[in-house]
Amino acid sequence: MMIDLHTHSILSDGVLIPAELVRRAVVHNYSAIAITDHVDFTNIEFVLNAVRKTSFLEDEWGIRVLAGVELTHVPPRKIAVLADRARSLGADIIVMHGETVVEPVAPGTNDAALRADIDILAHPGIITPDEAELARESGISLEITSRAGHNLTNGHVARIASEIGCALIVDTDTHAPEDLITDEMAFKVAVGAGLDERGALAATRTNPKRLVESRSRR
């Protein structure tokens, strides 16, 4: 069953309200989903307060719903402070908007994020071996994404992560209904990035399941 730890609702730039996002995930046979809307210092309280209310959907539809955030275009020197703020506000999952090659993310974002209290570095672009080593040491997962544009560097990320030995997770970065995928497609995304069967299974099942199990709603 699919576990997706990077999605967006109308609380940032997605098109679905949280309940519809979760319902569509259920239809796609998801066992867990994290709603990780874009935040900075201006909206983090609002977003987490709203997303945490989605817990009522879990018993109704038999899916784990985690309240998260994606720290987005935050100046590198402020990332650790905002990550701590997110955790204090009860974020189950903290995603960092990494140095994707298709957006003007500030240089140094990957390095600063990997020194902060985050869970996933999303679409990290041309990540370096030193940054991957930081991820391994910190227990932070690197993302392989199915999202167009951001996925241009999936092969590079998978190769560097495999060489260094850090964890990979396949996510969708969903913004619209058509972005949700099945676990079979997630496996294909992992294999397409260059992972072997064992690595693809870890990225689509073992690693996300371990992260979900380690996080309890605060």
Q: Check pLDDT > 80 for residue 108.
A: yes
Q: Is 5 helix (H, G, I), strand (E, B) or coil?
A: strand
Q: So what's the pLDDT on residue 217?
A: 45
pTM for this predicted structure: 0.97
Q: Quote the mean pLDDT of the chain.
A: 97
Q: Which of 106, 10, 87 is nearest to 44 (CA)?
A: 87
Tens of pLDDT, residues 22-47: 999 999 999 999 999 999 999 999 99
Cβ within 8 Å of residue 147, ≥6 positions away: 123, 172, 173, 174, 179
- The DSSP symbol for 101 reads T
| Lookup: tokens for 36 | 């990780």
Q: Which helix (H) or strand (E) is 165 found in, with range?
A: none
d(CA 164, CA 130): 9
Q: Looking at residues 40-59, what average pLDDT do you find?
A: 96
Tens of pLDDT, residues 191-202: 999 999 999 999
Backbone angles phi, psi at 42, to 5 degrees: -85, -25
CATH H-level superfamily of 2-214:
Metal-dependent hydrolases (3.20.20.140)
Q: Check pLDDT > 80 for residue 104.
A: yes
